[in-house]
Amino acid sequence: MKNKLEDKIREIAENLGLFNISKESYDLKAVSTSFSNNLEFLYEILREELYLRETKSREKRWSRSRLDREKTFENYDLKEGHGIKEDRIFAIKDFDWVQQKSNIILKGPTGTGKTHIANAIGNLAIIEGYKVQFFQFDLFLQRIVNADRNATKIEYMKECDIIIIDEVGYLPIEEEEAKAFFKIVNELNASVSIVITTNLDLSTWDNIFRNEFLTRTIVDRLTYHCQVIKTSGASYRLKHQKSIF
Give the mean pLDDT of the chain: 89
Model pTM score: 0.85
pLDDT at residue 13, as a whole number: 83
pLDDT at residue 26, as a whole number: 79
**183-225 residue pLDDT tens:** 999 999 889 999 999 999 999 999 999 899 999 999 999 999 9
**151-177 residue pLDDT tens:** 999 999 999 999 999 999 888 899 999
Q: Specify the amino acid at residue 211.
A: N
Rounded Cα distance between 202 and 61, Å, is 31
State percent of the chain over pLDDT 70: 93
pLDDT > 90? residue 60: yes
In which residue ranges of the chain is CATH 3.40.50.300 found? 66-239
pLDDT > 90? residue 132: yes
**Mean per-residue pLDDT for 57-75?**
96
pLDDT at residue 15, as a whole number: 84
Angle between helices 114-127 and 86-94 (to 10 degrees): 40
**Mean per-residue pLDDT for 140-157?**
92
**Mean per-residue pLDDT for 84-113?**
93
pLDDT > 50? residue 140: yes
3-state SS, one letter per residue, for the chain:
CCCHHHHHHHHHHHHCCCHHHHCCCCCHHHHHCCCCCHHHHHHHHHHHHHHHHHHHHHHHHHHHHCCCCCCCCCCCCHHHCCCCCHHHHHHHHHCHHHHCCCEEEEECCCCCCHHHHHHHHHHHHHHCCCCEEEEEHHHHHHHHHCCCCCHHHHHHHHHCCEEEEEEECCCCCCHHHHHHHHHHHHHHCCCCEEEEEECCCHHHCHHHHCCHHHHHHHHHHHHCCEEEEECCCCCHHHHCCCCCC
State percent of the chain over pLDDT 90: 61
pLDDT at residue 238, as a whole number: 52
pLDDT at residue 219, as a whole number: 96
pLDDT at residue 14, as a whole number: 82
Per CATH, the number for 66-239 is: 3.40.50.300
Which has more confidence, 11 or 94?
Answer: 94
Rounded Cα distance between 179 and 181, Å, is 5
pLDDT > 70? residue 241: no
pLDDT at residue 234, as a whole number: 63
Q: Sorting pLDDT into bands at 50, 70 and 90, what band is 1?
A: very low
pLDDT at residue 2, as a whole number: 56
Which has more confidence, 243 or 18?
Answer: 18
**30-53 residue pLDDT tens:** 778 877 788 788 888 888 888 888
Burial class (CB in 10 A: 0-12, 13-18, 19+), 140: buried
pLDDT at residue 147, as a whole number: 86
CA 26 vs CA 3, 45, 48, 107, 207: distances in Å = 13, 10, 11, 51, 60
